[in-house]
Amino acid sequence: MSIFRFKTSDYAWQILVVVTLMNLQSFVLRNELSLSYLVPLINILFITFLFSTIVRVSLLGSLTIASAGLVVFGFIQTALAIVLFGSISAVDASIANGYVLQISTAAIGLPLSWFLYRYGYGFSYDFERFRLKYEKIMIILTISVFMTTVALVLYLNQILNVIIVLAISLLFFLKYAIAKEKDL
């Protein structure tokens, strides 16, 4: 968010909900379903939905912000993996290495984000000019289809608790999409 001059603290609790959902889906896809290759794509979708429904950035702008954020995060984490462990594959040598990498990434990323925002670095684009005509309907439909698909996949593996959490997250995003629609 700081790269594009958004004040993170204005959306703190919404971000915490989305991050919790992202962590849950990451855990399930990596450990339960062995679909770890889908995690980055789904994380981009979660972040895109966060920006489009809560921060109220156009869909194209939301996708741009989510993708740029993932690239910066990936760059920092890859550099740290090489510096700390010698290679990316060495991170998988133990669970502790993964935790060390995550903590190290946060230890660099959070102060860097604060610094960028505090001193006015970053980009400030007017994403409104990229807003599509039926974007609000597209967002609600996309969120609904996305969450239904994920819930269906998880249902087939009989993970009832995850389905409940995903249903709650669907309601969360739809509630904000509709509430923000009424505010405009």
Task: List, for residues 29-44, the tens digit of each pLDDT value.
Answer: 777 777 777 788 888 8
SS3 sequence of 8-28:
HHHHHHHHHHHHHHHHHHHHH
Please determine, for residue 47, whether its predicted confidence score (pLDDT) is greater than 60. yes
Q: Pseudo-torsion of CA 34, 39, 40, 43, nearest 10°? A: 180
Report the distance separating Cα 74 and Cα 33, nearest Å: 23
Q: For 134-167, what is each residue's pLDDT tens digit?
A: 767 776 777 777 667 666 666 666 555 556 666 6
Phi, psi of 122 (to 5 degrees): 125, -170
Q: Which residue has the higher pLDDT, 5 or 19?
A: 19
Nearest Cα residue to 125 out of 60, 67, 61: 61
The residues spanned by each domain of the chain are 2-131
Report the distance separating Cα 101 and Cα 1, nearest Å: 21
Whole-model pTM over 0.75: no
Nearest Cα residue to 129 out of 35, 50, 59: 59
Please determine, for residue 125, whether its predicted confidence score (pLDDT) is greater than 70. no
Rg (CA), the chain: 17
Nearest Cα residue to 108 out of 73, 140, 148: 73
Q: Which residue has the higher pLDDT, 51 or 147?
A: 51
Q: For 78-106, what is each residue's pLDDT tens digit?
A: 889 888 988 888 888 888 888 898 899 99
Please determine, for residue 181, whether its predicted confidence score (pLDDT) is greater than 60. no
| Token pair for 128 | 């409104």
